[in-house]
């Protein structure tokens, strides 16, 4: 896919004070490290929640040495669709995946030929690597006569459908990553074995399952094929070591004009919540809080590795979460200690409420970003792609990054940063919301996810079919203003309909969604009376 270079143009349109710096920086592309935590709540980080009760010195260090975004959102309230949006710059609800998540055996979700952040950066001369939880599907060798669920978690019997000894097609290597090491999906999904590029590292020869939270009897992960030596608690340390080794191995090239892009989608603090023995009890709260602390420790190891190699100055480090806090971390136990993992937001993971998708976003880039900075800019994780493109002075083609808006001007603390166009939110059951300025319109009567009113569980037929909140005076989304502001409801609905029909929410030529999109489906279903 061709990319229009505009480095010269870039210098011409920048302010005179900035142009010489940019001209120099054009020779020194930054290394880029994106650390995506799994189910980490906004309120779990001390730097974002001063009332928080979990020590997070390394997250706090990234914030202190860089910029905090206080109004950042994942493209979805659950794992797979957020990852799709992060990697492609396009909302996942334009893809085949209209609700829920993929399983560990699901086929590839990213459409063939679609540009990804990795393919973009590879084309720009980067060495690209992904270490961690993929959860975007890959084409396993399916045994003759067998099937796996295409757009959801496989059934228990389908775990036997795959010939694990054969290569896997269309995984991370097929969408721009030179190197891949990790697990195919969430750590509570089969198969329990590492994958190195297109092969399982160790053949699964036994069946395993793990406690959803260490030491608790109330739930286990899905049972299925596992490598004999695979242990859930080893995943975070192993991924961390991989990254530390990678930074060491790539440092000479990185200093000599071959920068790296490292995408590190951690599997923590998602279930199975299994901190290593050395972290157990550290928080004094529960094993979830301990696991957050261990995740923080891993981030510290990544930062230390960059320091050791003298790469920190020109490495863009971004830390975020793929969705809000999951109640698997035991909300009541955390609240009892005065720790609200969802901060002041309503709901949690899976929800259309902000607790579902209002996520931490911390960015450190000493060469460019002032330390201790805060931005209230509305950001979506889909914006990563356009941000990378602007850093490199390239223009995205019309058929890439359809929902990606660069936040580089905010990072550089430019004084006149145009506001971001409205952001579309999406919940686990496929409910839509649109947010512009203080207004947020949700096209469903309840949470669209796991908190009350929960679709299919709580009867929402007596509630208004839509919810309109003014977040400037109602950040907790308690006062539905849809009846008072029908004009806002109409305006935001029309804007969302336009984003859908245009196949993009950014300026540019209209594009096609991969499948037809019905923005009312999930809300309509949730608004029907429950069957007795």
- Shortest separation between residue 239's beta carbon and Ca ion, angstroms: 15
- Shortest separation between residue 462's beta carbon and Ca ion, angstroms: 32
> Phi then psi for 228, rounded to 5 degrees?
-60, -30
- Shortest separation between residue 270's beta carbon and Ca ion, angstroms: 6
Q: Strand 373-380 vs strand 67-73: parallel, antiparallel, or unpaired?
A: parallel
Half-sphere exposure in the Cβ direction for 522 (13 Å, CA):
25
Q: Are 181 and 261 in contact (CB under 8 A)?
A: no
Closest to Ca ion by CB, 161 or 323: 323
User: What CA–CA distance (Å, rounded) separates 245 from 249?
Assistant: 6
- Shortest separation between residue 324's beta carbon and Ca ion, angstroms: 9
Closest to Ca ion by CB, 39 or 65: 39
Q: Which positions lie near Ca ion, rule CB under 5 A?
A: 38-39, 79, 322-323
Closest to Ca ion by CB, 38 or 402: 38
User: What CA–CA distance (Å, rounded) separates 163 from 326?
Assistant: 33
HEC-encoded secondary structure of 407-438: CHHHHCCCCCCCCCCCEEEECCCCCEEEEECC
Closest to Ca ion by CB, 179 or 322: 322
Exposure class string for 96-128: b at 16+ Cβ within 10 A, else e? bbbbbbbbbbbbbbbeeebbbbbbbbbbbebbb
Closest to Ca ion by CB, 267 or 378: 267
- Shortest separation between residue 80's beta carbon and Ca ion, angstroms: 9
Closest to Ca ion by CB, 268 or 323: 323
- Shortest separation between residue 216's beta carbon and Ca ion, angstroms: 20
Q: Are 172 and 180 in contact (CB under 8 A)?
A: yes
- Shortest separation between residue 269's beta carbon and Ca ion, angstroms: 10
User: What CA–CA distance (Å, rounded) separates 434 from 352?
Assistant: 10
First to last CA, the chain: 54
CA distances from 462 to 322, 427, 454 (A): 32, 21, 13
Residue whose token pair is 């002032």:
370
Handedness of CA 191, 193, 195, 200 (dihedral sign): negative
Q: Cβ-closest residue to Ca ion?
A: 79
- Shortest separation between residue 100's beta carbon and Ca ion, angstroms: 12
Closest to Ca ion by CB, 286 or 323: 323
- Shortest separation between residue 38's beta carbon and Ca ion, angstroms: 4
Q: Are 499 and 493 in contact (CB under 8 A)?
A: no
Closest to Ca ion by CB, 359 or 443: 359
- Shortest separation between residue 145's beta carbon and Ca ion, angstroms: 33
User: What CA–CA distance (Å, rounded) separates 462 from 528?
Assistant: 9
3-state helix, strand, coil in the chain (%, to 5): 30, 15, 55
DSSP 297: H
User: CB neighbours (10 Å) of residue 143?
Assistant: 12
Closest to Ca ion by CB, 186 or 375: 186
Closest to Ca ion by CB, 132 or 259: 132
């Amino acid at each position: 896919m061709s990319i229009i270079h505009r480095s010269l143009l870039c210098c011409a349109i920048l302010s005179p004070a900035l142009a010489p710096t940019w001209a120099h920086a054009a020779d020194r592309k930054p290394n880029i490290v994106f650390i995506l935590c799994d189910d980490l709540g906004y309120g779990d980080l001390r730097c974002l929640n001063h009332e928080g009760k979990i020590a997070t010195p390394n997250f706090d260090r990234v914030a202190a040495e860089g910029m905090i975004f206080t109004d950042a959102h994942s493209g979805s309230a659950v794992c797979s669709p957020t990852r799709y949006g992060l990697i492609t710059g396009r909302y996942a609800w334009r893809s085949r995946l209209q609700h829920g998540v993929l399983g560990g055996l699901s086929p590839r979700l990213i459409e063939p030929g679609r540009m990804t952040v990795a393919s973009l950066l590879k084309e720009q001369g980067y060495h690209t690597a992904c270490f961690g939880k993929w959860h975007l599907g890959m084409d396993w060798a399916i045994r003759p006569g067998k099937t796996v669920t295409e757009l959801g978690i496989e059934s228990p019997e389908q775990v036997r459908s795959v010939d694990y000894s054969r290569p896997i097609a269309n995984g991370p290597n097929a969408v721009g990553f030179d190197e891949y090491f990790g697990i195919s999906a969430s750590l509570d999904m089969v198969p329990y074995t590492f994958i190195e590029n297109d092969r399982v590292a160790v053949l699964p020869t036994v069946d395993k399952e793990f406690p959803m939270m260490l030491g608790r009897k109330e739930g286990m992960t899905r049972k299925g094929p596992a490598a004999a030596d695979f242990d859930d608690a080893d995943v975070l340390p192993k991924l961390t070591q991989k990254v530390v080794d990678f930074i060491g191995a790539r440092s000479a090239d990185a200093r000599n004009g071959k920068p790296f892009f490292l995408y590190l989608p951690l599997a923590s603090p998602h279930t199975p919540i299994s901190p290593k023995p050395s972290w157990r009890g550290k928080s004094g709260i529960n094993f979830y809080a301990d696991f957050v602390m261990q995740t923080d420790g891993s981030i510290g190891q990544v930062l230390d590795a960059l320091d050791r190699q003298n790469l920190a100055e020109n490495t863009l480090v971004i830390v975020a979460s793929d969705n809000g806090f999951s109640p698997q971390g035991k909300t009541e136990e955390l609240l009892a200690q005065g720790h609200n993992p969802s901060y002041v937001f309503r709901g949690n993971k899976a929800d259309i409420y902000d607790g579902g998708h209002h996520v931490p976003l911390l960015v450190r880039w000493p060469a460019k970003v002032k330390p201790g900075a805060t931005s209230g800019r509305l950001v979506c994780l889909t914006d990563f792609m356009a941000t990378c493109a602007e850093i490199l002075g390239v223009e995205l083609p019309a058929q890439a990054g359809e929902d990606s808006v660069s936040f580089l001007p905010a990072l550089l603390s430019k004084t006149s940063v145009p506001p971001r166009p409205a952001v579309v939110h999406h919940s686990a059951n496929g409910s839509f919301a649109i947010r512009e300025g203080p207004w947020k319109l949700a096209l469903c009567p309840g949470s669209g996810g796991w908190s009350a009113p929960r679709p299919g569980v709580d009867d929402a037929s007596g509630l208004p079919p839509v919810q309109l909140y003014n977040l400037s005076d109602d950040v907790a989304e308690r006062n539905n203003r849809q009846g008072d502001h029908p004009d806002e409801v109409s305006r935001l609905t029309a804007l969302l309909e336009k984003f859908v029909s245009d196949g993009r929410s950014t300026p540019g030529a209209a594009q096609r969604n991969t499948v037809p999109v019905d923005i009312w489906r999930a809300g309509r279903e949730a608004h029907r009376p429950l069957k007795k």
